[in-house]
Structure 1
Amino acid sequence: MTTRLAPGTTAPDFTLPTADGKELKLSSLRGKKVILYAYPAAMTPGCTKQACDFRDSLASLQAAGYEVVGISPDKPEKLAKFVERDELTFPLVSDVDKKVLMEYGAFGEKKNYGRIVQGVIRSTFVIDEKGVVELAQYNVRATGHVAKLRRDLNLDS
């Protein structure tokens, strides 16, 4: 069983390649709140819907002090196509060996169409300015998740 992160724990730091060929180090975002969301595969219907929801909400999330980062086991080349195709305006990081996903508890056993499989557990983590997990949500739905997250963070009041 994968260990899940709980609020109050320090978010595991990472340095991973991005869709644009650079690297992103989580600790370089200290001083900002970060929404890190884990998704199974770029350019699939659910993951596209979720990424586009984050894209469409990005300005209001940034106005509230949040940066958004997506993480998946896709190679940077596939992420670059995803960014270009769907005009994504936030960084996507590649965790091909799934090490970071496992550290976050976002890779392991899950149900897929009634079968138990190993894979990415669609998850969202809100990390505060000091690198501490404020919110850890597992098995989130692709559709409607950003709206629910905004409610959870009291951004729509």
Structure 2
Amino acid sequence: MIAAGQTIDTAFTLKVVQDGEVREVVFRDLLTKPVIVSVYMKNNTGSCDKQNDSLVAHASEFAKAGYRLIALSRDTCGSHLKYAAKKNITYTLASDPSDAFARATDSLVEKSMYGRTFQGPVRAAYIINTQGKVLRVIEKVDTKDHSAQIKAALATL
């Protein structure tokens, strides 16, 4: 996994949902200000819902502090549109079915579920500056209190 101080390749493409619209972007184009990227597994699942509920409750604080908040999963933009409406999500939801962000952050790992082994992204959060330099990594997300983890990481910058 990438560490604080390292720079990621920001030339990969994602589809994002923001303000009820879907668009395709190059990740570096999202870096108009520092970003917080919170990686989760799937919309409408218990832990992931808790993680996003925590972000929803504090999204305006992160925006006021000068950060763009991005929650990223493998879900489609169609799923993200419904999820954003259901959860009152105002921040960016990124669709990354090809794990481009996980590859850029070297955070694609082997996982297993129901006896099946597969590759998947680590549930983690990254604070990245406008040049793509990783300022902090939260390697183990506390889904219930994720925003507190992010606030603690931001306080150390």
Question: Given the two structures, how large is their TM-score scaled by the length of structure 1?
Answer: 0.84
Q: State the AA in 2 paired with 1:12.
A: D
Whole-Å Cα distance in 2 between the matches of residues 32 and 98 of structure 1?
Answer: 23
Whole-Å Cα distance in 1 between the matches of residues 56 and 28 of structure 2?
Answer: 22
Q: Secondary structure at the match of 1:144?
A: helix
Asked whether the equivalents of residues 43 and 75 of structure 2 are also in contact (C-alpha less than 8 Å), the reply is yes
Asked whether the equivalents of residues 31 and 130 of structure 1 are also in contact (C-alpha less than 8 Å), the reply is no
Cα deviation code 1:22-79 (max 9, x no counterpart): 1233222334110011111111111111112112111111111111011111111111
Whole-Å Cα distance in 2 between the matches of residues 29 and 118 of structure 1?
Answer: 26
Structure 1, unaligned stretches of length 5 or more? Answer: none
Structure 2, unaligned stretches of length 5 or more? Answer: none
Asked whether the equivalents of residues 58 and 68 of structure 1 are also in contact (C-alpha less than 8 Å), the reply is yes
Runs of 4+ in 1 over 3 A off after TM superposition: 110-113, 115-118
**Structure 1 residue 10 and structure 2 residue 7: aligned?**
yes
Distance change in 2, residues 1:69/1:46 (3 Å): same
Question: Given the two structures, how large is their TM-score scaled by the length of structure 2?
Answer: 0.84
Q: Secondary structure at the match of 1:93?
A: strand
Asked whether the equivalents of residues 109 and 119 of structure 1 are also in contact (C-alpha less than 8 Å), the reply is yes
Cα deviation code 1:81-130 (max 9, x no counterpart): 111111100111111122322322333124769x9764331110000132
Q: Secondary structure at the match of 1:21?
A: strand
Q: How much is the aligned-residue C-alpha RMSD, in angstroms?
A: 2.3
Distance change in 2, residues 1:108/1:41 (3 Å): same
Aligned residues with identical type, % of pairs: 26
